[in-house]
């Protein structure tokens, strides 16, 4: 074991105990306290995602509208600019603030010029980028021009992340992030609940890899999907009793944004498997940000408020069809994007 700048006897005794226990973790001192080298890694350890729906929608519109121009506008840069301006508090949001920065960009100023004296712009750019990186982009999707015609492929630039609830299926929701939960132990709610009927098809928001499928006493039947860049972990919980998952889904599978992955239910709050102890059927969807793999399952996980994002994703819902024999739902129109290739 290698130790740096040990000054206090208490630190020496701690090291001695660690050595006797056979541990080989690398330690340093920080403000005279012993800490592991993990804590000194240079990555983001906290994010409060504050952009309101109105800011997301307007910034997205400016990005899409300018996509074919010589100097396209990047919606994440706009949101990072606002995050820095407001100190992350979008209660101060004004649409004129976006209009002002867009005007500057179109007049020839660069975002580097505009933010050169902004202390925290780069932090917001990385944090908001981790959330929204794959929401906008180029993609292909099938469309039907007329009912009797075969679908054709269209190439589009725009919102390519999907609402977690399938098209035509009703739901209700409100901002419940941080609300109290008491099952097992007192804790804040680190996800977003979308209230809808049992059996409602659950949709993959983003393309990625299925990391987990199975039972958890808090989430019931649940699915965890990781984005290809490893930055986002989507958690879909309280799925239907008995048949929670789509028949074709397996751990390790690649899923496309817009695929049906499971069905809404009310399982969970039980150490016994396949029990529905949740009072109302709903989808719990969570989004964890991962800047370093040590954050994945730790005491310092970063979960963000998805209320504004789920409102934005209502603009892009996956159309589904039901197989009359198996009763399974499937996406109606196929989808492709560069990351899947």
Q: What is the DSSP secondary-structure string of 167-178?
A: TT---B----TT
**Rounded percentage of the chain residues whose pLDDT exceeds 70:** 88
Model confidence band, residue 81 (pLDDT cutoffs 50, 70, 90) = very high
Please give the pLDDT value at position 130: 98
pLDDT band at residue 39 using 50, 70 and 90 as cut-offs: low
Using CA atoms, how far apart are residues 266 and 274, in angstroms rounded to an integer? 10
pLDDT of residue 40: 61
pLDDT at 33 over 70: no
Question: Which residue do the tokens 């977003």 mark?
Answer: 192
Predicted confidence at residue 160, as pLDDT, reads: 98
First to last CA, the chain: 45
pLDDT per residue as tens digits for the range 231-267: 999 999 999 999 999 999 999 999 999 999 999 999 9
- Tokens representing 141 are 């999707």
Judged against a pLDDT cut of 90, whether residue 12 lies above it is answered with no
Looking at the chain, the whole-number percentage of residues with pLDDT higher than 90 is 82
Domain residue spans of the chain: 3-40, 53-132, 180-340
The C-alpha angle 101, 103, 106, rounded to 5 degrees, equals 110
Q: CB neighbours of 192 closer than 8 A, spacing ≥ 6?
A: 173, 175, 176, 177, 284, 285, 286, 305, 306, 307, 310
Amino acid 180: pLDDT: 92
Q: How much is the mean pLDDT over the chain?
A: 89
Please give the CATH number for the structural domain made up of 180-340.
2.70.70.10
If one compares 235 and 30, the residue with the highest pLDDT of the two is: 235
Specify whether the CB–CB gap between 336 and 259 falls below 8 A.
no
Instruction: Work out whether the CA dihedral 216, 218, 220, 223 comes out positive or negative.
Output: negative
């Amino acid at each position: 074991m290698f130790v740096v700048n040990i000054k206090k006897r208490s630190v020496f005794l701690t090291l001695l105990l660690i050595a006797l226990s056979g541990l080989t973790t690398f330690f340093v001192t920080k403000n005279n306290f012993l800490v592991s080298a993990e804590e000194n890694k240079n990555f983001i350890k906290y994010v409060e995602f504050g952009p309101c729906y109105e800011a997301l929608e307007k910034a997205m519109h400016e990005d899409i509208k300018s996509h074919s121009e010589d100097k396209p506008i990047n919606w994440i840069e706009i949101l990072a600019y606002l995050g820095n301006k407001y100190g992350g508090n979008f209660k101060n949001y004004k649409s004129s603030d976006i209009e002002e920065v867009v005007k500057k960009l179109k007049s020839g100023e660069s975002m580097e010029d505009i933010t050169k004296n902004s202390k925290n712009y780069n932090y917001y750019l990385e944090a908001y980028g981790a959330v929204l990186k794959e929401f906008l982009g180029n993609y292909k999707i099938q469309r039907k021009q007329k009912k009797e015609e075969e679908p054709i492929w269209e190439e589009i630039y725009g919102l390519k992340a999907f609402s977690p609830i399938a098209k035509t299926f009703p739901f209700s929701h409100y901002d419940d992030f941080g609300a109290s939960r008491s099952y097992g132990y007192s804790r804040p709610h680190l996800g977003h609940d979308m209230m809808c009927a049992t059996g409602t098809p659950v949709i993959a928001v983003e393309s990625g890899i299925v990391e987990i499928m199975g039972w958890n006493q808090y989430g019931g039947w649940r699915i965890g999907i990781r984005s290809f860049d490893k930055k986002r972990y989507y958690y879909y919980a309280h799925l239907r009793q008995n048949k929670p998952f789509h028949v074709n889904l397996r751990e390790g599978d690649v899923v496309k944004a817009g695929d049906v992955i499971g069905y809404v239910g009310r399982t969970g709050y039980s150490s016994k498997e396949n029990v529905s102890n949740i009072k109302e059927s709903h989808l719990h969807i969570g989004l964890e940000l991962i800047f370093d793999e040590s954050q994945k399952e730790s005491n310092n996980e970063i979960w963000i408020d998805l209320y504004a994002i789920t409102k934005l994703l209502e603009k892009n819902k996956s159309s589904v069809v039901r197989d009359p024999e198996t009763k399974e739902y499937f996406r109606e129109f196929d989808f492709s994007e560069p990351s899947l290739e």
